[in-house]
Structures are given as structure tokens and as C-alpha cells.
A and B are shown apart, each in its own frame.
Chain A
Amino acid sequence: MSRLQVVSGKGGTGKTTVAAALALALATEGKRTLLVEVEGRQGIAQLFETEALPYEERKIAVAPGGGEVFALAIDPELALLDYLQMFYKLGGAGRALKKLGAIDFATTIAPGLRDVLLTGKACEAVRRKDKSGRFTYDYVVMDAPPTGRITRFLNVNDEVAGLAKIGPIHNQAQAVMRVLKSPETAVHLVTLLEEMPVQETADGIAELHAANLPVGRIIVNMVRPQVLDATDLELTRAAPHTAIARSLSAAGLGGARRGGNAERLVDPLLEQAEEYAERYALEHEQRGVLAELGLPLHELPLLAEGMDLAGLYELAAQLRKQGMS
């Protein structure tokens, strides 16, 4: 099992949720995981219902069986100051640099430096050991940028290593790349059973492969429960309205006669079944496309009540059950 688990996915597919559930699942039974946020959206804090995360590793959840989940929202500016401190012992000078806009320059504009700092910090956490020589974290889970940008984000170190031909940034970039391209890392993609996210997943996998980055698993999120099966769907087209109306009436939903409450429900209910059938066929097709990608597939259910902390634990249990941790 790779120790750095990178979770990406098209916008709106719930990659932050899946990353958090994965961190919980991996922490189960006494393990310790670090959940890393790199896009400054404070999505993790919202998910775990805590206040905004500072640039500091702090415990945010306890997993079943005594494990612990830590979280870190990486701030590129602070990461750079950290970094300068580490290499140059810059104290006050660092702050002076910040005042002049040099830090802002370096983190926002300097080609890819921001991304190097973000991935660098995650890789540092992966490699960190405590005094007894044991890894500080068993796993590091990264809530990464979306599928469309993930390859460039992870591969930016390569580009930076080429651009900054010498110096510590160059060395740092190379060290990060060694971790990212090794089996120590797995990049997972979150998708929905819809055409565009599935297409983007397929494209993303091709890009990751081309860049020699290790692709892990596909997680299909928000899978809706199967309410009607193929037989039901055929039946909906064949069953006469009067029979359904009578059935509704028998269940206490009003009169079955034309214009009765039960009778008036039949058309809208069948219309919903028709929409369901269309979606059912589409989902079936998309499952086929995903299966052809040849990667392990996992499915997480859509939570009827929306996402909350309890739901997160439920998803973590699902991931565990499906052998993802």
C-alpha cells in the first residue's frame, strides 16, 4: 500500500470528501494518517466541522479502533518561509522579504514554485520519522487539484528542475519527483457515473501514464441506489395506468378513478420512472467505460441526507470494506 495517496477528480465529484474518508479508513485500527489540503479552500475543516485549519498539523478525528487523523492546510507562503528558515536560517529577513512582495512573487508567479512547495511539504511528511526511527505518519492523503490540472501539478517539479538548473529549488524538485514517481505514491481519481467526469477520468489517466506517474484506483462517488431493476423498468412501460392507480389506491393514496388522487399520481410517477430508466442506461454505459480502463474500481453511495460527519465515517467504513485500506 503506497504511503502517499493523492486524491484527484473533476470539480464537483467530491474529491475532498473521498480524501477525508480515505484518511479515516487508513487510520482505522491504530494507524496515524495526515490529510493534506493544498488549495487553500478549507474544505477539510468544513467537512470535519471544525474551525479553519492553520498551517500546522493538528489532530482532527479519531478513527474506529483508536487511529488518528491529522490535518494540514498548506499555505505556500508560510511553506516558503519555513523552507528559507530551514536552509538559510532567515528569521527577520524572511519577514522583510514578505514585506517587499518577494514571497508573494515567489509563490504566486515564479513558475511552479508554489506547486513544488506544496508537493514538497507532502513528501516531507511522508518521509518524516520520529526519534525511534518509526515513520511519523503511516499514510499521507492529499486532497489534490482537480483532474484537469493534476498531472501538471505533480509533474511541475520536473519542469522546475529543468528551469532552475541549479540551487536548492532544483534539488528539492528532484527529490520530490523521486517520491512522486515511485510506488510510494498512488494517484486516485474520483468520478461520477456521468459522461463528462468519466471522460475526464479517462483523459487524466492517460496523462498520468504519459508522465510516468503512478495511477492507483478509480472511486465512483455518489452512486445512487438501485430502486427499480431492468424487469421493473420493462414493466413500467407495459403496466396499464388503471392497475397502478388501483394499486396506489389500495395503499391508501386516494381514489383510483379518473381524477382521483391516486390516479393523478400515475403519470408523474411513470415519468420519474422514465427519467430513472434513462439515467440507469447511461450509468450502465459509463460503468462499462470505466471498466475498460483496467483499474480497480470502488463505489461509494450517495448519502440521502447530504454530507455530514456521520456520513464521512460511513464512507470510510465502505472504503475499508471494499479493501481500499
Chain B
Amino acid sequence: MSLDPARVLDVDPLLDDPQTRIVVCCGSGGVGKTTTAAALGLRAAERGRKVVVLTIDPARRLAQSMGIDSLDNTPRRVKGIEGDGELHAMMLDMKRTFDEIVEAHADPERAAVILNNPFYQSLSAGFAGTQEYMAMEKLGQLRARDEWDLIVVDTPPSRSALDFLDAPKRLGSFLDGRLIRLLTAPAKLGGRAGMKFLNVGMSMMTGTLGKLLGGQLLKDVQTFVAAMDTTFGGFRTRADATYKLLQAPGTAFLVVAAPERDALREAAYFVERLAAEDMPFAGLVLNRVHGSGAARLSAERALAAAEDLDSEAAENLDDARIVDQGDGKAGLRNSPDTYDSSEPSASAAPASEEGSPAATDKPAPSRTAATDGTTTDHTAATDSTSRDRTDAQDTPDAPDTAGAHGTADAQDETDTAEAQDPTTTTAGEPRSDAEGTARTVDQLTAGLLRLHAERMQLLSREQRTRDRFTALHPEVAVAEVAALPGDVHDLAGLRNIGDRLAANRPELPES
């Protein structure tokens, strides 16, 4: 039942390789992308590298898990790193980043004009594409400083993962583009006959845009672009440079996904896109994969066994004197290890279930199995009278003093705290006796089996989803991260994720 991928992505060699300078984590929202980026950064740092993690929009808790109350636009050193490495973390502030570019490239007077331009203010406050562009810009800056061995980048929570690649180009080409040049300097185009038609088109267009957006806005755009354009050489050039940086061999793209249909579909799309753009793709991180130590027991078999236990319990109550199941049946079941997950369990299970009423119908006075069971089965003599199943079935039993006695015995034997729960005795629900307590363990076991069946259903669903992905992309190396029951709160939690990432599911069933 394991989800062993065709190819395994080994993250440690990737993180250790001094040639690896940038790791980009991308994927759709809600798959644990930011957490993965932080866990990778921590792991690389504790393996001796000097790392900075650039997050885009981390949950507060994630920042806190790195011991930083609020991340900002400057890398802050994370304390508590084991070993010689260093971990720094920062959160992208797109407006601040944009402002810094302007301030760095324009003289103070011109910078002030740009910073006060209403169009610039809305553009930098984060309309479509700015965040992605600024993430790339920041990455370029961090790389240029050359202070870190490794930069781990998280990508913005986009509509789709592709925006991250497209938006910088779009913004770059807009700010550098023909349209803007025409808008800002339509007069230059006059004169030459060939341009005449275009010129007419242009004035019509500026007119329309002006009408549409309001003349003031268009004027703001024009002033803004003129100011930007003369101050430094082209957004397009910068966008292209960062794009090339991403294509360089020192970069590794990781696509992060969860084993769910939508997330993997997006991941597949992204993998194809990275290939088309010649981006160095390292592999897929599959988060929140479930495993089971009892994977050889199928869901169907577990459910059938659970029902079996329930119906046995019910029968025991119908006739309290019949403590034991049919000898033959109990014997048959107890003897050899007959089941095997490889055999079609669905067919085997209903058969035994059908068998049980028949088996219990015949009087089975032999008490050997029962007495064998009583001593230990008592042990969990917690009261479960509150459960519906039991309530319904309790009434037929006549109050039996032996029952109370039996329960007391059980307490003495086992010292379970639950058995001493006053409600057990004061509630006055008469326990029939030994079978009553055995029933409780049976019902617990039935519950455990149902829980297992649920887990196995989840496992097979995840596997189906995963198989579909692997069938389409057999070349993709996959690192699976075993699901955690809770959230990450501290460095230890991030370290745990890193361990799981590197181990490729440490909780695989021993088979």
C-alpha cells in the first residue's frame, strides 16, 4: 500500500551542494508552501549553510515559529540554530521594496515626484503583478549582495502558480512597452507617413482611455512613466535579468503540492510550464501524505471485522448465557494467521460475517474461551453505557449482582482509573458480567478498526491521485512528507518537517 514514487527526490544533497544558491518553492495555495520553505531553510542552515528565507505572506504563527514576532523587509537572524550555519528570515514588503528601488535610482527630488504620484502609490500598494514582480526584485537584490550561500524563496499566493513567472514579465513589458512610449510621447510619431495611421489610432486610443479612466489618471500614468523612464534603465531589463537568474544552474525549483486532485493538477501544470521555460526543476514535494503501520489490513477487511465485533457484542446481550461464540468459529479464527492483505479481502470478509449468526445460533456451552477472556478483557472495564449501542441493548439483561462483583474484580486486577469512575457503578446500569466488559473492549476494537478503515480509504485516495500524476510525469522526482496531526509552532516543529522531508516518510509501514 505504500506510495513509493518512481523517483525519489533527495533533498539533503540538494541543500548541501554549494552550487545550489537559490531554491524556489512554488505551488497552489494551502499546500504548505511557506512552511516547506522555512523547513528547508532551517535544515540547510543546520547542515552548515548560511541561509536566508524570503517569505511572501507568512502566517503569523510561522514567523513566530522562527522566533521572530513580525518579519519585515530586512533579513533577521533566527536564534536557536544548531551547528555552524546561520538562518535569516524576512518577509517581502512590496511597497517598501518598490520605494527602495526608486530611492536607489533617482535623485531625491525626482524620487519624491515618483513616490508622491497617485498612480505609483496604487501600483506599489499591490495590484495584480506587483507582488510577484517585487518578489523577483528582492530575490535579485539578495543574490547580488552575495552574503548568503543559499536563498530559499517562497512564492506569492497567486490565483494560479503561473502568475509568479508571468507577472514580472508583464509588468516589465508594460512599463517599458510600446504602449507606454506611445502614451507618453505621441508627438514624436508625427510626420512620417507610415506612422500616420497608427498615430490616428493612438490619439483615438488615448482619448478612449482618458474617457474611460478619467483624464487625471492617465496623466498620472504618463508623468509616472516619464519620471521612471528617465531615472533608470528600464524595468524590462531588470525583469529579464531576474528571469535569467532563475534559469541559471544554481537555482532549483521545487513544486509543492498536497496529495489532492486540484493541488496535483496545478502541480502538473506548473511542472510542464517550468520545462517549457527552461527553468531548473528539481522535483515535487508532496506534503501531508498519510501512512499506516497496519497498511496490510485493508479498509474492507477492517470494516467487516468491526461489524463482526459489534454483532457479536449484540448477540452476547441478546442471550447473556451465551458468552462464547461458537467454538468452531472462535477456534477457526484464532488459530492460524489466515488473512493476507494480498488476497481479495472484500470477498473473504462478508463471508465470515454471514457465518457469525449461524455460528452463535447453536448453543455453545463451552466456556473455555470466555474464561480465558474474562481476566484480561475485564481490564478495560470502563463504562460505556452512555454509548447508544450499549444503551439500546442493556435493557434485556436482568440486574445481576454478579455483574457488579465482576466489575469490582476487574478493577482490582487492573487498576484502571476509568474502572473506578463512580458513574460506572452509581449509574446503576447493571452489567451482565464478564461479557459486559468484554463487550467494551470489543467495541473499542471495533472503533479502532473503523478508524483504520477511514485511514486506509484516505491512503488509497491519495495513492490514486498520486498515481495519476506519476503516470503523466514519470520523470519527476518526489519527496513525500508524512502528515502531522497538528500545526507547527516552533523550530522543533520545522525541524521535524525537515526530517520528514529528507526521510521520505519515516513512518512507512514495516513490511
Contact = CB atoms under 8 A, between A and B. Distances in A.
B29 A271 contact: no
A296 interface: no
A112 B179 contact: no
B379 A166 contact: no
A255 interface: yes
A234 to B, nearest CB: 6
A260 to B, nearest CB: 6
Contacts of B261: 306-307
Contacts of A149: 157
Given A276-B451, A305-B461, A13 B30 contact: yes
B217 A267 contact: no
Interface of B: 28-31, 57, 59-61, 118-119, 122-123, 126-129, 157, 159-160, 170-171, 174, 177-179, 201, 204-205, 208-217, 258, 260-263, 265, 292-294, 297, 301, 305-306, 308-309, 312, 325, 330, 333-339, 352, 373, 376-377, 379-380, 382-384, 386-387, 414, 416-419, 438, 440-442, 444-452, 454-455, 457-458, 461, 465, 485-487, 509
Given A114-B128, A164-B216, A238-B382, 17 more contacts: A11-B28, A12-B29, A12-B260, A100-B178, A101-B178, A111-B119, A111-B127, A145-B159, A163-B119, A195-B61, A247-B309, A247-B441, A248-B305, A255-B335, A268-B294, A278-B486, A305-B461
A313 B214 CA distance: 46
A16 B458 CA distance: 21
A314 interface: no
Interface of A: 10-13, 39-41, 43, 46, 84, 88, 90, 93, 96-97, 100-102, 104-106, 108-114, 145-146, 148-149, 152, 159, 163-170, 194-197, 199-200, 224-225, 227-229, 231-232, 234-236, 238-240, 242-244, 246-256, 260-261, 265, 267-273, 275-276, 278-279, 282, 304-307
Nearest to A194: B487
B297 A251 contact: no
Given A97-B205, A105-B174, A239 B333 contact: no
Q: Is the interface of A mostly helix, strand, loop or mixed?
A: helix
B448 A269 contact: yes
Contacts of A252: 305, 308, 333, 338-339, 352
B386 to A, nearest CB: 7
A272 B214 contact: no
B461 A250 contact: no
Given A11-B157, A251-B309, A256-B334, A93 B379 contact: no
A235 B380 contact: yes
Nearest to A166: B214
Contact of B339 (A148, A229, A247, A253): A253
B61 A196 contact: yes
A260 B335 CA distance: 10
Nearest to B349: A252
A228 B128 contact: no
A167 B297 CA distance: 69
Nearest to A167: B214
B380 A239 contact: yes
Contact of B171 (A109, A163, A240, A273): A109
B310 to A, nearest CB: 10
A200 B61 CA distance: 11
A169 B208 contact: no
A260 B337 contact: yes
Contacts of B441: 239, 243-244, 246-247
A96 B201 contact: yes
A142 to B, nearest CB: 14
A272 B302 CA distance: 14
Contacts of A265: 294, 297
Nearest to B131: A149
B177 A235 contact: no
A251 B333 contact: yes
Nearest to A257: B334
Nearest to B355: A252
A148 B157 CA distance: 9
A68 B157 CA distance: 33
Contacts of B293: 267-268, 271-272
A243 B293 CA distance: 20
Contacts of B325: 250
